[in-house]
Amino acid sequence: MRKVDEVAAREPADGRVGFAAAADRALKTGRNRLVLAGALFALAYLVIGVRLVDVMLVKEGIEPRFARVVVGNALLGRRDVVDRNGVLLATNLPTASLYADPRKVFDAEVAATKLARVLPGVSRAELLSKLNSERGFVWIKRNLTPRRQVAINRLGLPGVAFQREERRVYPLGALFAHVVGFVDIDNRGLSGVEREFDDELRGLLRGPREPLRLSLDTRFQHVLRDELMRGMTEFAAAGAAGVVIDVANGEVLAMVSLPDFGPNRPDARGGTAQFNRVTLGAYEMGSTFKVFTTAMALDTGAVTLRDGYDVSEPIHVARFVIRDYKPEKGWLTVPEIFARSSNIGAAKMALAVGAEAQREFLARLGLLRAANIELPEVVTPIVPLPWRKINTMTIAYGHGVAVSPLQLAAATAAVVGGGVFQPPTILKRAPGEPILGWRAISPRTSRQMRELLRLAVVHGTGKKASVPGYLVGGKTGTAEKVGPEGYRQKALVSSFVAVFPSDAPRYVVFVMFDEPRGNEATFNYATGGWTAAPVAGRIIARLGPIAGIAPVDESGGEAKRGSLVEVAYREGLGVAF
Amino acid sequence: MSGPSAALWAVLIGAMAFGLFQIKLAVQPAEREFARLSRELLASEETLHVLRAEWSYLNKPERLAELAGRHLALAPMAPQQIGGIAALPMRASPIDAP
């Protein structure tokens, strides 16, 4: 009341006027507040309106594309593997796996009897123990065929159901068994490319979900495998290995190890069939190593093509004797030593170069360290330690150092392909991709080596590898395998390394047989010249037309470009195979 | 707020409600169609995938070689069978113009 009194005191005596003024002011305040509140509400509505337009009309595309999300989730986890031309080598197929919830199974006895009748390979007792278990989930059978799935559905059993799964399949079967490898039941890579690129294939790493493209060619692979299998039967060999390398960039075009296995049903226990001889096997290669010995001797200038050595006397070093398979009399030139495959000559050439230079040279050709290839199965070469004089001499003709066939082929590709060593790869190189390589020998030595290799096929131990129409160069190799009591004369590793066309090399083909036996057609010889060389020739005869290499007239002038070495090669001497 | 303005608002509200109803009616079947097409796409992609695997399986070189050997009178090409135009001999006698 005091307030009213004050107002009244200030106003004139007529109280009515004072009250009217006060009411007027209150009304004004009220209206102001109303306008303010109204403005706020209007603003809120405006914001909502603008946002509505924004969401419905402007930002239409922000909503996730339903279809794409679904496709990305559902389609088939592990990436495909394809060859260089896009032929499918490994993919996934959707399958159904049968599982049971034992707590929901009505009558385990009946269910087990019925299931055992439909599922072959699963015994009733096994099913019964699974269906009687206390757990809430047991696998009964993984990866059923559609027909089995229908049959089980028809049984109408409660408590059993299907889980959609993916199964890795290899449509080409055993053809790429060792290279591509295989996976376990949960689609994790166990060997080969599947293991090496497991993370990439499972999509754990970011990047486009494109198939993994290998450098291998299905056609080359088939030819190589087909001919190796024929050869293996022909010579009753325990095993075989073959590899084809592109000289230009080190791409592996075919890689076969026999015996092989079906990757769709691999034996989980492993076994010799799963052993990749091409990358995991270390073999003393025998005379094919003379390619490197001769290249080294020529490149370091220790000898020229016109030099020669007396090879009539076996060399006695410590308790060893180095002798030739087929002894020659007198003096042989370097081309003759190479073409006739003289161990004595090769040993003398290596001695002229020296042990240290030899080791350094072989290291440059990647022969002393494990091959740098994208496979988990890689062997470390067996190298002598210390590297004595006797080792220098035996390594000259391929005894004392054990390398994998892949390493030998890659080193040969370096020797004939201009002298630059390129690490082999099983991934397709992009065109124009820079290749990490290093010079091993000079281009001039490389050319001389091509001519020497050609000479060995025309006149020397590799005659059986010649293919009418193609200039094939190559070197034979025969090594005795090491047994518990030293070298075994009857157990051989016979090999042949070929280059074609020898005037402008495109491919290096390496063929190796493990413990081949001679037959009537080979006069019981099981050496490289009689076993591996003809097989290499047959492979080249089939690969040439596939690769689109035009044949040449061998007797014509073009083919006689080997004249440089022909000069130092005398006809009429006995030829050893 | 009376007379014409109230009538205007009433009409507007009615129109909006009708429009919204119409849109919802049109969207519902479109969404069903969309889901159906997505499912179909998925199934087709899976079929394609399976067929590609089958194609690769049926084109196994071993199998093709066996089939070719059984049904075709063809053999792998030998290097001698390839030739160039330049290798052809010239015609012995000039061509008689017709």
Please check whether residues A33 and A133 belong to one and the same domain.
no
Mean pLDDT across A117-144: 84
Is the pLDDT score of A241 beyond 90? yes
* Cβ within 8 Å, pair B82-A219: no
Question: In the structure encoding, which two tokens stand for residue A250, read together?
Answer: 């080190």
Model pLDDT, residue A475 = 93
Model pLDDT, residue A70 = 43
Question: In the structure encoding, which two tokens stand for residue A237, read together?
Answer: 């060999």
ipTM (interface pTM):
0.74
- B40 is a domain residue: yes
For residue B11, give the amino acid letter.
V
Contact (CB, 8 A) for A276 and A178: yes
Closest residue in B to A225 (Cα–Cα): B62
Model pLDDT, residue A179 = 93
Is the pLDDT score of A88 beyond 60? yes
- B36 is a domain residue: yes
- Which residues are within 8 A (CB) of A206 and not within 5 positions of it... i.e. 6 or more apart? none
Interface test with B, best of A60, A180, A222 (most B CBs within 10 A): A222
Model pLDDT, residue A16 = 58
- A161 is a domain residue: yes
Interface test with B, best of A70, A79, A216, A543 (most B CBs within 10 A): A70
Angstrom distance (rounded) from CA A397 to CA A343: 6
- A47 pLDDT band (50/70/90 cuts)? very high
Mean pLDDT across A303-312: 85
* Cβ within 8 Å, pair B61-A550: no
Is the pLDDT score of A566 beyond 80? no
Model pLDDT, residue A365 = 92
- A509 is a domain residue: yes
Give the total number of structural domains in chain B.
1
- A67 is a domain residue: no
Model pLDDT, residue B21 = 94
Contact (CB, 8 A) for A413 and A248: no
Give the residue among A113, A107, A77 at the shortest CA–CA distance from A93.
A77
* Cβ within 8 Å, pair A467-B50: no
CA distances from B20 to A62, A123, B16, B27 (A): 22, 63, 6, 10
Q: Is B88 exposed, middle or buried (0-12, 13-18, 19+ CB in 10 A)?
A: exposed
Q: Which of A5-19, A344-358, A520-534, A559-573 has the lowest mean pLDDT?
A: A559-573
- Coil, strand or helix at A141: strand
- Which residues are within 8 A (CB) of A163 and not within 5 positions of it... i.e. 6 or more apart? A96, A97, A98, A99
Closest residue in A to B52 (Cα–Cα): A88
* Cβ within 8 Å, pair A91-B35: no
Model pLDDT, residue A71 = 43
Is the pLDDT score of A563 beyond 70? no
Interface test with A, best of B45, B55, B56 (most A CBs within 10 A): B56
- A571 is a domain residue: no
Give the total number of structural domains in chain A.
3
- Closest by Cβ to B56, choosing from A67, A172, A542: A172
A94 Cα to chain B: minimum distance (Å): 8
Is the pLDDT score of A132 beyond 50? yes
- B1 pLDDT band (50/70/90 cuts)? low
Model pLDDT, residue A269 = 58
- Closest by Cβ to B82, choosing from A66, A173, A551: A551
Model pLDDT, residue A200 = 83
- A358 pLDDT band (50/70/90 cuts)? very high
- A214 is a domain residue: no
- Does residue A362 or residue A124 have the better pLDDT? A362
Closest residue in B to A81 (Cα–Cα): B53
Mean pLDDT across A427-446: 86
- B77 is a domain residue: no
- B42 is a domain residue: yes
Percent of chain B whose predicted confidence (pLDDT) is above 90: 45
- Closest by Cβ to B60, choosing from A75, A169, A172: A172
Model pLDDT, residue A43 = 97
Model pLDDT, residue A227 = 94
- B14 is a domain residue: no
- Closest by Cβ to B84, choosing from A75, A173, A550: A550
* Cβ within 8 Å, pair A550-B80: no
- B65 is a domain residue: yes
Residues of A classed as catalytic: 287
Please check whether residues A174 and A284 belong to one and the same domain.
no
Partners of A511 in beta bridges: A242, A496
A70 Cα to chain B: minimum distance (Å): 8
Pairing of strands A88-100, A81-82: antiparallel
A323: left (phi over 0), alpha (psi -120 to 50) or beta: beta
Contact (CB, 8 A) for A395 and A358: yes
Closest residue in B to A549 (Cα–Cα): B79
Is the pLDDT score of A535 beyond 80? yes
Partners of A214 in beta bridges: A427
Mean pLDDT across A492-521: 90
CA distances from A192 to A72, A221, A237, A280, B29 (A): 27, 16, 24, 11, 51
Closest residue in A to B45 (Cα–Cα): A75
Please check whether residues A181 and A315 belong to one and the same domain.
no
- B85 is a domain residue: no
Is the pLDDT score of A284 beyond 80? yes
- A531 is a domain residue: yes
* Cβ within 8 Å, pair A93-B53: yes
- Does residue B91 or residue A108 have the better pLDDT? A108
Mean pLDDT across A532-548: 91
**Does the CA dihedral A144-A150-A151-A154 come out positive or negative?**
positive
Please check whether residues A228 and A298 belong to one and the same domain.
yes
Is the pLDDT score of A17 beyond 70? no
* Cβ within 8 Å, pair B49-A91: yes
* Cβ within 8 Å, pair B52-A88: yes
Mean pLDDT across A552-567: 53
Question: In the structure encoding, which two tokens stand for residue A243, read together?
Answer: 């590899």
Angstrom distance (rounded) from CA A126 to CA A139: 12
B60 Cα to chain A: minimum distance (Å): 5
Model pLDDT, residue A74 = 43
Which residues of A are less than 8 Å from B77 in CB distance? 545
A391: left (phi over 0), alpha (psi -120 to 50) or beta: alpha
Interface residue A469 vs chain B (CB under 8 A): yes
Is the pLDDT score of A225 beyond 90? yes
Question: In the structure encoding, which two tokens stand for residue A11, read together?
Answer: 């106003």
Please check whether residues A141 and A27 belong to one and the same domain.
no
Angstrom distance (rounded) from CA A476 to CA A461: 6
Instruction: Tell how far CA A387 is from the center of its chain.
Output: 33
Contact (CB, 8 A) for A77 and A203: yes
- Which residues are within 8 A (CB) of A524 and not within 5 positions of it... i.e. 6 or more apart? A518
Task: Tell me the per-residue pLDDT of A469-481, one tens digit each, with 9 for 90 and over.
Answer: 888 999 999 888 8
Please check whether residues A425 and A298 belong to one and the same domain.
yes
Please check whether residues A249 and A197 belong to one and the same domain.
no
Please check whether residues A451 and A551 belong to one and the same domain.
yes
* Cβ within 8 Å, pair B79-A468: yes
Range of the domain at B63: 28-71
Mean pLDDT across A450-454: 91
A371 Cα to chain B: minimum distance (Å): 30
* Cβ within 8 Å, pair B79-A67: no
Mean pLDDT across A87-106: 86
- Does residue A322 or residue A239 have the better pLDDT? A239
Q: Which of A326-340, A389-403, A449-463 has the lowest mean pLDDT?
A: A326-340
- Closest by Cβ to B38, choosing from A67, A89, A219: A67
Percent of chain A whose predicted confidence (pLDDT) is above 90: 33
Model pLDDT, residue A160 = 86
CA distances from A409 to A360, A501, A549, B17, B62 (A): 19, 15, 20, 80, 26
Is the pLDDT score of A58 beyond 90? no
Is the pLDDT score of A291 beyond 90? yes
Model pLDDT, residue A490 = 75
Is the pLDDT score of A577 beyond 80? no
Give the residue among B71, B50, B36 at the shortest CA–CA distance from A80.
B50
Mean pLDDT across A74-84: 78
Is the pLDDT score of A61 beyond 60? no
- Which residues are within 8 A (CB) of A463 and not within 5 positions of it... i.e. 6 or more apart? A457, A529, A533, A575, A577
Which residues of B are less than 8 Å from A219 in CB distance? 61
Which residues of A are less than 8 Å from B49 in CB distance? 75-76, 91-93
Is the pLDDT score of A576 beyond 60? no
Q: Is A467 exposed, middle or buried (0-12, 13-18, 19+ CB in 10 A)?
A: buried
* Cβ within 8 Å, pair A75-B42: yes
Alpha carbon dihedral A396, A401, A402, A406, in 10-degree steps, equals -60
Whether the bond into A516 is cis, omega within 30 of 0: no
Is the pLDDT score of A14 beyond 70? no
Q: Which of A20-29, B52-61, B81-90 has the lowest mean pLDDT?
A: B81-90
Is the pLDDT score of A495 beyond 90? yes
- A63 is a domain residue: no
Q: What angle do CA A191, A409, A403 make, to 5 degrees?
A: 70
Return mean pLDDT, chain A.
84
A577 Cα to chain B: minimum distance (Å): 26
Q: Which residue has the tokens 């006027």?
A: A17
Model pLDDT, residue A499 = 93
Contact (CB, 8 A) for A227 and A531: no
Closest residue in B to A91 (Cα–Cα): B53
Range of the domain at A100: 72-205
Q: For residue A62, what is the enclosing H or E element? A: none
- A409 is a domain residue: yes
The count of residues in chain A is 577
Q: Is B5 exposed, middle or buried (0-12, 13-18, 19+ CB in 10 A)?
A: exposed
Is the pLDDT score of A212 beyond 70? yes
Model pLDDT, residue B97 = 59
- B46 is a domain residue: yes
Is the pLDDT score of A9 beyond 60? no
- Write the CATH number for A297: 3.40.710.10
Interface residue A67 vs chain B (CB under 8 A): yes
* Cβ within 8 Å, pair A222-B61: yes
- Which residues are within 8 A (CB) of A148 and not within 5 positions of it... i.e. 6 or more apart? A118, A119, A141
Angstrom distance (rounded) from CA A382 to CA B72: 50
- Which residues are within 8 A (CB) of A86 and not within 5 positions of it... i.e. 6 or more apart? A211, A213
